[in-house]
Amino acid sequence: VTLHLNPISSVHIHQKPLVFVLNSPLPLVWKLKTERLAPGIQRVFFVSLGSVVQFEKGNFSLSAETEEKLFPEKNEQLLQWAQKEYGAVTSFTELKISRNIYIKVGE
């Protein structure tokens, strides 16, 4: 699955830390494609067991962290876990089948 990350239109270059929870019942390879995200900013990717994140060429991976995690089975429990860990969830998306996911990040 390719995860496309771009800032919202009102933000020229996104310069804040981000946390992503990428959960799947089966192990996946998450391919990351980014535009206009500042280098050197911490970005954390929690992935379900057996999954990996592949970064594009460049230095984005130097400031990104990937961690495998055993997530709750139900979406409601997963959302509660994320809220407890980070205090807020700005976006939650559930997809049954997808090859590309497009996410706008910003304020």
Q: How would you classify the pairing of strands 2-7 and 43-48?
A: unpaired
Tens of pLDDT, residues 50-94: 999 998 876 677 788 999 999 998 999 999 999 999 888 988 999
* Secondary structure of residue 104 in the 3-state scheme: strand
pLDDT over 70 (residue 34): yes
Question: pTM of the full predicted structure?
Answer: 0.90
The per-residue pLDDT for 60 is 72
Q: In what order do the strands lie in the sheet with 29-34?
A: 52-54, 29-34, 2-7, 100-105
Percent of the chain scoring above 90 in pLDDT: 71
Per the structure, the count of domains in the chain is: 1
Domain limits for position 67: 2-105
pLDDT over 90 (residue 107): no
